[in-house]
Structures are given as structure tokens and as C-alpha cells.
Amino acid sequence: MSLTDILSPSDIAAALRDCQAPDSFSPKKFFQISGMSKKSSSQLKEIFRILDNDQSGFIEEDELKYFLQRFECGARVLTASETKTFLATADHDGDGKIGAEGINLFIYR
């Protein structure tokens, strides 16, 4: 399964266009534009599984900086500031990584 099986390719493209400039990435806005914020919990878990590159059950900081590239190969890498802000916001238990429930909580804030 791929992200385009769950999210509209045009919505993904629009979300990526919105954050092309460095330090312009807003996870909440990205989730809204891409359509992730409208998906069911089970769909979000599938999206999380796809984004969890090493299939560890968590998205760690090293994976998170390549977040946009999981949606499109040529997308930019998140800046260090964007990565740290994203991680701090979605890491609900402070362990330095995001579990599937962290993404769910962040999307619905």
C-alpha cells in the first residue's frame, strides 16, 4: 500500500507546495491540506506504518527530517528547527520519538 492509496495525489501535491520554502512547514496545516486530518484512526495507522521507514513502530528524529520525502521523492528535507518542533509537538510521552498515537493526537489538536 502507498500513501496515494489513502490520500489524494492532488492533495499531497498541494500540501507539499505549501511548505516548499525552508522553515515554512506546519505539521497541522500539512495534515489539513493533505487530507490526513479527515482520515479515520485506522487509515492514520496505515499512513503511520508507511511513514515509519524502519518499521520500528516509531518515527524517530532521523526519519522525521525526511517526512516530506515519504510523500514525494524530490521533496525537501525538513530543517533542524522544523524537525525539532514537529517532534516536540507530536511526542506526547517525551521519549524522543513519535508513536502512532502521537500522530493521532497531533492531528486532532
Q: CATH number of the domain that 26 lies in?
A: 1.10.238.10
Q: How many CB atoms lie within 10 A of CB 7?
A: 19
Q: pLDDT band for 99, please (50, 70, 90 cuts).
A: confident
- Is 97 one of the annotated binding-site residues? yes
- Is 56 one of the annotated binding-site residues? yes
- Is 52 one of the annotated binding-site residues? yes
| Inside any domain, residue 24 | yes
What's the CA gap between 53 and 19, in Å, rounded?
Answer: 21
| Inside any domain, residue 1 | no
pLDDT for res 106: 55
- Is 65 one of the annotated binding-site residues? no
Number of domains in the chain: 1
62-83 pLDDT tens trace: 999 999 999 999 999 999 999 9
As a whole number, mean pLDDT of residues 92-107 equals: 75
pLDDT for res 16: 98
- Is 81 one of the annotated binding-site residues? no
Domain that holds residue 85: 6-106
- Cα 66 to Cα 9, 38, 40: the distances in Å are 18, 23, 24
Please give the residue that has the higher pLDDT: either 26 or 94. 26
2-54 pLDDT tens trace: 999 999 999 999 999 999 999 999 999 999 999 999 999 889 889 999 999 99
